[in-house]
């Protein structure tokens, strides 16, 4: 889900740029040189994974996967998503130049929230834990982005209220699909290569 150029009022997209600059600066603190290629590579994987079409009844949707970015990159997810948004605007004209800020806040904010949800898994211990928290992260990441998008539309003007409502409704099926995919991905990664996931604790895999 993206907002296009020309829709939002100037104060909204300027605020979007300001918020993105602040969040990017905060989440990029103490960036290690080693992380630069890693973040880039993960970004490009998500960039192309968002080209995958998933069938939903007769139609098909593209994956958003911002929840999974949060699960893999932790707080660095914000920058990864911002880079993805910039490239989409440049290469496809998806979204647009003026709305890079708003779109980054929307998708990257969702990713950060998803990471927060994902971290809660340490409080619990049961067999399908990674699947359940991955799915929650995927669902909450998607719906947070949908909510931020709806808010951006509503603050632009009341004539967008109906569209904002429609946007939120459209996010419900996407949320379910994202939950299933991010959940199974998180479970898979936890089995095959657990150190790729964000916020892992050593005790869990100490015997390996």
Partner 1 sequence: MALDIDRYHAVDSLVNRWDPRFKLAVMGIFILAIALLKTIPMAVIAIVLAAALIRLTALPFHFVSHGLSFILVFLIPFLLIMPFTYPGDSAFTVLGAGFAWEGLRLATLIFIKAVSIVLVTFAVFGSSRFDVSMLALQHLRCPKVVVQMLLFTYRYTFVFLEEMRRMHTSMRSRGFIPHTNVQTMTIFGHFIGTLLIRSFERTERVYKAMLSKGYQGELHSMVRFKSCSSDFGKSILTLLLATLLVAGDFSGLFHQAVQGWY
Would you count residue 2 as binding partner 1 (CB under 8 A)? yes
Q: Residue 3 corresponds to which tokens in the numbers above?
A: 């907002």
Query: Is residue 154 within the footprint of partner 1 (CB under 8 A)?
Result: no
Residues constituting the chain: 208
Q: What is the DSSP letter of 62?
A: E
Among 18, 26, 90, 151, binds partner 1 (CB under 8 A): 90
185 scored as a contact of partner 1 (CB under 8 A): yes
Handedness of CA 178, 180, 185, 186 (dihedral sign): positive
Q: Which residues pair with 184 in a beta bridge?
A: none
* Residue 27 CA: distances (Å) to CA of 36, 57, 73, 138, 142: 13, 39, 11, 20, 20
Q: Is 55 in a helix, a strand, or coil?
A: strand
Residue 51 binds to partner 1 (criterion: CB under 8 A): yes
Question: Which one of the spans 114-122, 139-147, 182-190, 198-206 is the region binding partner 1 (CB under 8 A)?
Answer: 182-190
| Residue nearer to partner 1 on the CB measure, 33 or 202 | 33
Task: Give the one residue of 91, 123, 125, 207 binding partner 1; rule: CB under 8 A.
Answer: 91
Q: Which is nearer to partner 1, 123 or 159 (CB)?
A: 159
Stretch that binds partner 1, among 61-69, 107-115, 121-129, 140-148 (CB under 8 A): 61-69
Q: Does 38 bind partner 1 (CB under 8 A)?
A: yes
Residue 52 as a binder of partner 1 (CB under 8 A): the answer is yes
To the nearest whole angstrom, how small is the minimum distance from the Cβ of residue 198 to partner 1? 12
- Cβ(115)–Cβ(144) below 8 Å: no
Kindly provide the b/e burial profile for residues 31-61, where b requires at least 16 CB atoms within 10 angstroms of the residue's own CB.
eeeeeeeebeebbeebbebeeeeeeeeeeeb
**123 interacts with partner 1 by CB under 8 A:** no
The Cβ of residue 184 has, within 10 Å, a number of other Cβ atoms equal to: 15
What are the residues facing 54 on neighbouring strands? 61
Q: Does residue 109 contact residue 144 with C-beta atoms inside 8 Å? A: yes
Which parts of this chain interact with partner 1 (CB under 8 A)?
A: 2, 4-7, 9-10, 13, 28, 31, 33-34, 36-45, 47-49, 51-52, 54-57, 63, 65, 68, 72, 79, 83-84, 86-87, 89-94, 96-98, 156-159, 161-163, 166, 177, 180-185, 187-189, 192-193, 196
């Amino acid at each position: 889900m993206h907002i296009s150029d020309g829709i939002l009022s100037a104060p909204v997209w300027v605020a979007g740029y300001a918020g993105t600059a602040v969040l990017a600066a905060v989440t990029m603190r103490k960036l290690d040189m080693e992380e630069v290629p890693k973040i880039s590579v993960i970004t490009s994987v998500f960039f192309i994974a968002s080209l995958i079409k998933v069938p939903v009844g007769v139609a098909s949707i593209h994956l958003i996967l911002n929840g999974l970015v949060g699960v893999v990159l932790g707080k660095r997810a914000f920058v990864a998503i911002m880079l993805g948004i910039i490239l989409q605007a440049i290469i496809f004209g998806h979204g647009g130049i003026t709305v890079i800020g708003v779109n980054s806040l929307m998708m990257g904010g969702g990713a950060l929230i998803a990471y927060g949800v994902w971290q809660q898994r340490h409080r619990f211990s049961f067999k399908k834990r990674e699947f359940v928290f991955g799915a929650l992260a995927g669902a909450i990441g998607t719906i947070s982005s949908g909510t931020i998008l709806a808010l951006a539309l509503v603050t632009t003007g009341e004539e967008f209220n109906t569209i904002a409502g429609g946007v939120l409704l459209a996010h419900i099926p996407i949320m379910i699909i994202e939950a299933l995919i991010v959940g199974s991905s998180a479970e898979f990664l936890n089995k095959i290569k657990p150190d790729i996931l964000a916020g892992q604790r050593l005790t869990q895999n100490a015997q390996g």
